[in-house]
Amino acid sequence: MTQHLKRYLPILSWGRTYDRQKFNGDLVAAVIVTIMLIPQSLAYALLAGLPPEAGLYASIAPIILYTIFGTSRALAVGPVAVVSLMTAAALGNIAEQGTMGYAAAALLLAGLSGVMLLAMGLLRLGFIANFLSHPVIAGFILASGLIIAASQLKHILGIDAEGHNLLDLASSLIAHLPETNLVTAIIGALATAFLFWVRKGLKPALLRLGVSEGGANVISKAGPVLVVVLTTLAVWALGLADQGVKIVGAVPQSLPPLTLPDFSLDLVGQLLLPAFLISIIGFVESISVAQTLAAKKRERIDPDQELIGLGAANVAASVTGGFPVTGGFSRSVVNFDAGAETPAAGAYTAIGLAIAAVALTPLIYFLPKATLAATIIVAVLSLVDFSILKRSWQYSKADFAAVLATILLTLFVSVEAGVSAGVTLSILLHLYKSSRPHIAEVGLVPGTEHFRNILRHEVETDPRVVTLRVDESLYFANARFLEDSIQNRVAADPDIRHVILQCSAINEIDLSALESLEAINNRLDEMNVKLHLSEVKGPVMDRLQRSHFLDELTGRVFLTQFEAAQVARESCNDTQAR
Amino acid sequence: MTQHLKRYLPILSWGRTYDRQKFNGDLVAAVIVTIMLIPQSLAYALLAGLPPEAGLYASIAPIILYTIFGTSRALAVGPVAVVSLMTAAALGNIAEQGTMGYAAAALLLAGLSGVMLLAMGLLRLGFIANFLSHPVIAGFILASGLIIAASQLKHILGIDAEGHNLLDLASSLIAHLPETNLVTAIIGALATAFLFWVRKGLKPALLRLGVSEGGANVISKAGPVLVVVLTTLAVWALGLADQGVKIVGAVPQSLPPLTLPDFSLDLVGQLLLPAFLISIIGFVESISVAQTLAAKKRERIDPDQELIGLGAANVAASVTGGFPVTGGFSRSVVNFDAGAETPAAGAYTAIGLAIAAVALTPLIYFLPKATLAATIIVAVLSLVDFSILKRSWQYSKADFAAVLATILLTLFVSVEAGVSAGVTLSILLHLYKSSRPHIAEVGLVPGTEHFRNILRHEVETDPRVVTLRVDESLYFANARFLEDSIQNRVAADPDIRHVILQCSAINEIDLSALESLEAINNRLDEMNVKLHLSEVKGPVMDRLQRSHFLDELTGRVFLTQFEAAQVARESCNDTQAR
């Protein structure tokens, strides 16, 4: 019972050894992460099309729930860029930004995603996420980064623009360009330039000034806070809001409210696919961060339990005025680097953010939206990494095709189309590759018992005995290819008396392939040719013995290819001698 | 050029050696097949919901086109049961049976299917058909047979009934049962009983009477013709049509008319998926018959050219008043057994059917529909073979699941749902299986250089060196599983200093798996563990060399596992000695 509880409540394991030293480490990390998260949370709410307080709310309860159920010690859960973009894309088809319906749909989206993640965790269905291949993820994140950056340009320029793909966004931006608010554009441009400098130039400058590596890291993460403070003061002091600079305005001064998602069946139907994609992409992003950080301390991550942790976090987001969340890369790394020892650091961060929600919200009344947009642009452009195109092109054209399809469809159609097409294409290309496996005709390397490809090596063969080695498991997609290959090889050459199938690379034979082998056996029999198998793996043999194939096989099953070739050749000689 | 022409026009190859002896063989076969095809063509037109002459038309031009473009020497192309059922199911959603719109849609369906088959042949996309696994085909044919038989009961009883799945059909039949026409029911029952006896009892009886095996085969195939003649005479002589027995009635006395399919975009959209499924299923049925017959004469079948042959046949059907066609099993076997030597036999059959269409149609005016229904029922019930359920259950639960899903959805939802679900499920189950590959920890068999599973054999291991053998190619679906497996194994055991991945069963490493290997390498490095590879296959190694992975690898790549284990152990000893 305790064992069972411990599996589902990892807090019971690390909580028992919690001490003063760990508390100190966690507290320092929590303070740093809190400072970093305040502007980030506000910005991602803006990106998701929600009021700024939703970003704070989405960072409080979810963190606490993940602390209880998650297995990673350093993962920091909350709104992240890609998921916020997917949220905006999903809700954009359903309601107008700024309406009650939009916020209610965001709650439902988080709730659905949470329930899906919980279900996948409890039913141990985490493998579903495996079908999102690395090229698809890389292509998707690259394209999302570009779309996010483009979508924030309207805040930088102080204009209206809409669209969830690059074409729509660009044409909308161009149409509204004449309405650009000059003061906003100046604030936006300065904030963006400063943040880029913070990212690239501040750390080296601090190091030159003698600040320690760790200190420089932490200070440069505080750059966004500085921009927030400076631009807010500027807008307030110079009365820029009256000159058309859009500001955050009044934010309710409260703890996260209790909310109930709108469970209309119609809405649920519309949000099922987006919620599923958000769940899967959020999970994949989160678990790779968790695995990377865990390896640094030789710790284990339980993927199924991670699903439960993220699911609980999203359900929490949906009942406390938030929107979909997941484990974020940059905040988790900061948390880890700042010395977080246990998930309790997350709980302290939540407390810090709760204090901010209650006490600091009046201070951000004059915060310009352009500043938040600058924060987002600088953060996401670091995700835009075109090297995946070159790497995949060099390594494998199939992977390149999947990357390219994902990028183009995400950019020019929609995020959902991009991910779906990428996943479908990777699966089809994988099946296509394994549907035309490499089949080598092999011969004996003289003086050894080894058999090698006759096209690559000098080997001995017998015109009456053909040995084929299939370098792939046999299953429905390549069963007919095998039939065709063998029939074509044998029909073309009337000397052949024996066909040996060397099975050393065959890890599985499914029912389709079994029936194809039966058909091959019968057809070879019609041509007066015997079929033999060699080097069949144990599990494959176990399974073959459950069928009638071995009874019907005209030839034999040999442990080694060497023996098979010898016996076949001797049998030919006997026949000729008679 | 000639070579090129010969590839696309196989008639140029066999036509050059055509002589008197081959002509005789072809002619005899053609006469027998023609007699068999007359009732069959009429019956399948009834099944497809089309007027009887459509069945004859669909058997004339398509055969001639296949003769020119096909590669099988014995395949007989025309309407077949399963494709006719699929035609009825596809058109039932679009138009009322008996209307002009229905017949026009049938032409379009054949035309679309023909174009798809031609395109797949020219683009060499025949592998698409491979995704239809044997269990799915078997389940689909079983379920189709049941639905076809059920759909013909209305003709046997002389009532109206509708529906394209078993539930709809059954409830419709029951509702109309009180309207049963007694005379029709008697004719139907007698015809069915007689045909079953012909199938099971006639051949043994003939053999007992001293008729040769071949003769008995041919005579028992003529059973349907006898029933057609007898019941037609009975209806005419006794004036049963006046008592409510439904008859075929007036059939136009003509050669196939020239027709043009209705190419409305709306209709094309609705028929795309059915046309695709009909193409694939027709192709799979046809090519397995062709391969089986070709093997008996050690001949080659070119699958891509078969697609072209079937595509041309379907285009021909669509412009001559027919409906979708493919190579049929029973007629091809009869053709082969009767001594067909070349595809010319098909052309002679077409001439025979053309004569029938012009000269014999008045004779079938009084042919009762119940007789045709009986022909269909007896023919399709031989397709209903429940043994696939037992075989798949014994051999593999995944295959069983695919069979069962296909059968249930075909029976109770629709033929399209059945095939689609079956294909999707087989693909997902295949991916699922390969997403959790068998990973064995191996050790040295004492006194040898072989490494075997530590759970199955008495082997030597070193606590500081772990060797894992993955029995599957590495690709996106199992990349994360590999990461998890290795991290869990190593994190649990602080003694480990070296991890060796034995790659003897790995036929491919895609980009996702490569990046997972890079992550594993980095994470193991964080834990101060080295990663080595052993027994990497040539093509896999070629590809790895196109990436940076081998430069970053903390350990080495060994030709043999034995060497890898030795070097790793020595390196541990060196470290301890220091």
Distance, CA of A509 to CA of A515 (rounded, Å): 10
Which tokens belong to B238? 């006794």
CB proximity A433 to B under 8 Å: yes
A573: distance to nearest CA of chain B, Å?
A: 23
pLDDT band at A278 (very low <50, low <70, confident <90, very high): very high
User: What is the distance between the alpha carbons of residues B245 and B236, in angstroms, rounded to a whole number?
Assistant: 11
The region of weakest confidence among A94-98, A221-225, A378-382 is A221-225
- Cβ contacts of residue A32 below 8 Å, gap of 6+? A218, A221, A334, A335, A338
pLDDT at B468 over 60: yes
Judged by CB atoms closer than 8 Å, whether chains meet at B476 and A426 is answered as yes
Q: What is the pLDDT of residues A128-151, one digit of tens each?
A: 888 888 888 889 889 988 988 998
Which of B512, B524, B531, B546 to mutate against chain A (most A CBs within 10 Å)?
Answer: B512
Strand (E) or helix (H) holding B433:
helix B415-435
Separation CA B271–CA B86 (nearest Å): 11
What would be the CATH architecture of the domain defined by B439-577?
2-Layer Sandwich (3.30)
The residue that leads in pLDDT, B214 or B552, is B552
- CB-based contact, A431 to chain B, within 8 Å: yes
Locate the chain A residue with the closest alpha carbon to B289: A519
Question: Across the interface, do A476 and B133 touch by the CB < 8 Å criterion?
Answer: yes
User: Which two three-digit tokens encode residue B577?
Assistant: 């000695």
- Of the ranges A365-374, B3-12, B567-576, the best mean pLDDT one: A365-374
Neighbours of A390 (CB within 10 A): 10
Cβ atoms A7, A71 nearer than 8 A? no
pLDDT at B249: 86
Q: Which two tokens stand for residue B196?
A: 């079953």
Of A207, A206, A214, the residue nearest A339 (C-alpha):
A214
| Separation between Cα atoms, residue B441 and residue B467, nearest integer Å | 6
B490: contact with A, CB 8 A cutoff? yes
* Mean pLDDT, rounded, for B464-473: 91
Mean pLDDT of chain A: 88
Taking CA–CA distances from B526, the nearest residue in chain A reads A296
pLDDT at B29 over 60: yes
Q: Please tell me if residue A481 touches chain B, with a CB cutoff of 8 Å.
A: yes
pLDDT band of residue A378 (cuts 50, 70, 90) is confident
Residue A1 has pLDDT above 60, yes or no: no
Average pLDDT over residues A89-102: 85
pLDDT of res. A436: 86
- Which of residues B36 and B79 earns the better pLDDT score? B79
* Of B568 and A450, more confident: B568
Helix (H) or strand (E) holding A35: helix A20-47
Structure tokens, A474: 């046999």
Task: State CA A483 to chain mean position distance.
Answer: 38
Phi and psi based region of residue A558 (left: phi greater than 0; alpha: psi -120 to 50; beta: remaining): beta
Among the ranges given (A526-530, B191-195, B535-539), the one the predictor scored with the smallest mean pLDDT: B535-539
- Nearest alpha-carbon partner for B65 in B323, B328, B310, B284: B310
Hey, are the CB atoms on B395 and A132 less than 8 Å from each other? no
Select from B292, B392, B431 the Cβ nearest to the Cβ of A131: B431
Quick check: B513 pLDDT over 90? Answer: yes
- A514 at B interface, C-beta within 8 A: yes
Q: Among candidates B178, B180, B186, B176, which has minimal Cα distance to B235?
A: B186
Q: At residue B453, what are phi and psi to the nearest 5 degrees?
A: -50, 125
Distance to chain B for A472, nearest Cα, Å: 7
B127 touches chain A (CB under 8 A): yes
Taking CA atoms, what residue in B is nearest to A296?
B526
Q: State residue B333's pLDDT score.
A: 83
Judge whether residue B177 has pLDDT over 70. Answer: yes
Task: Judge whether A41 and A55 are in contact, CB under 8 Å.
Answer: yes
Do residue A505 and residue B505 have CB atoms under 8 angstroms apart? yes
Q: Is B345 exposed, middle or buried (0-12, 13-18, 19+ CB in 10 A)?
A: buried
For the question of an ipTM over 0.95, the answer is no
In this prediction, residue A574 carries a pLDDT of 80
Going by pLDDT thresholds of 50, 70 and 90, the confidence category of residue A577 is: low
Quick check: B1 pLDDT over 60?
Answer: no
Residue B471 sits at the chain A interface (C-beta within 8 Å): yes
pLDDT band for position A505 (cuts 50, 70, 90): confident
Q: What is the mean pLDDT of residues A478-500?
A: 90
pTM as predicted: 0.79
B519/A contact by beta carbon, under 8 A: yes
Which residue bears the tokens 């080296």?
A204
Lookup: tokens for B96: 């009322």
CA angle, B20 as apex, B18 and B25 as ends, to 5°?
90
Using pLDDT thresholds of 50, 70 and 90, give the confidence band for residue A531.
very high
A251: distance to nearest CA of chain B, Å? 42
User: In this complex, do B133 and A516 lie within 8 Å of one another by their Cβ atoms?
Assistant: no
pLDDT at A198: 85
CA dihedral sign of residues A518, A522, A525, A527: negative
pLDDT in tens, B407-439: 999 999 988 888 889 988 998 888 888 888 889
Tell me: pLDDT of B2 over 70. no
Kindly report the average pLDDT of chain B as a whole number.
Answer: 88
User: According to CATH, where is 3.30.750.24 located in chain A?
Assistant: 439-577
pLDDT given at position B576: 66
Tell me the per-residue pLDDT of B477-511, one tens digit each, with 9 for 90 and over: 898 889 889 988 998 888 999 999 999 888 889 99
Residue A308 to residues A9, A67, A118, A333, Cα–Cα distance (Å): 10, 11, 5, 22
pLDDT for position B209: 86
Across the range A343-357, mean pLDDT stands at: 90
Separation between Cα atoms, residue A11 and residue A66, nearest integer Å:
10
Q: For a pLDDT cut of 70, what percent of chain A falls above it?
A: 98
Choose the closest CB to A395 out of B488, B538, B547. B547
What number is the average pLDDT over the span A216-234? 83
- pLDDT of B357-385, one tens digit each? 888 888 888 999 999 899 889 888 877 88
Q: Which residues of A199-237 are buried (b: 16+ CB within 10 A; e: fewer)?
A: beebbeebeeeebeeeebbbbbbebbeebbeebbebbee
Beta bridge partners of A441: A468
Does the beta-carbon distance from A507 to B296 stay under 8 Å? Answer: no
- Enumerate the residues of chain A whose CB falls inside 8 A of the CB of residue B516: 134
Which residues numbered 291-310 in A keep a CB inside 8 Å of some CB on B?
291-292, 294-296, 298-301, 303
* Mean predicted confidence (pLDDT) in A386-406: 91
Touching A: B residues 356-415, CB under 8 Å: 391-392, 394-396, 398-399
Could A526 and B398 be called an inter-chain contact, meaning their C-beta atoms sit closer than 8 Å?
A: no
Task: Of A31-40, A483-492, A550-559, give the range with the top mean pLDDT.
Answer: A550-559
The answer to whether the beta carbons of residues B144 and B85 sit under 8 Å apart is yes
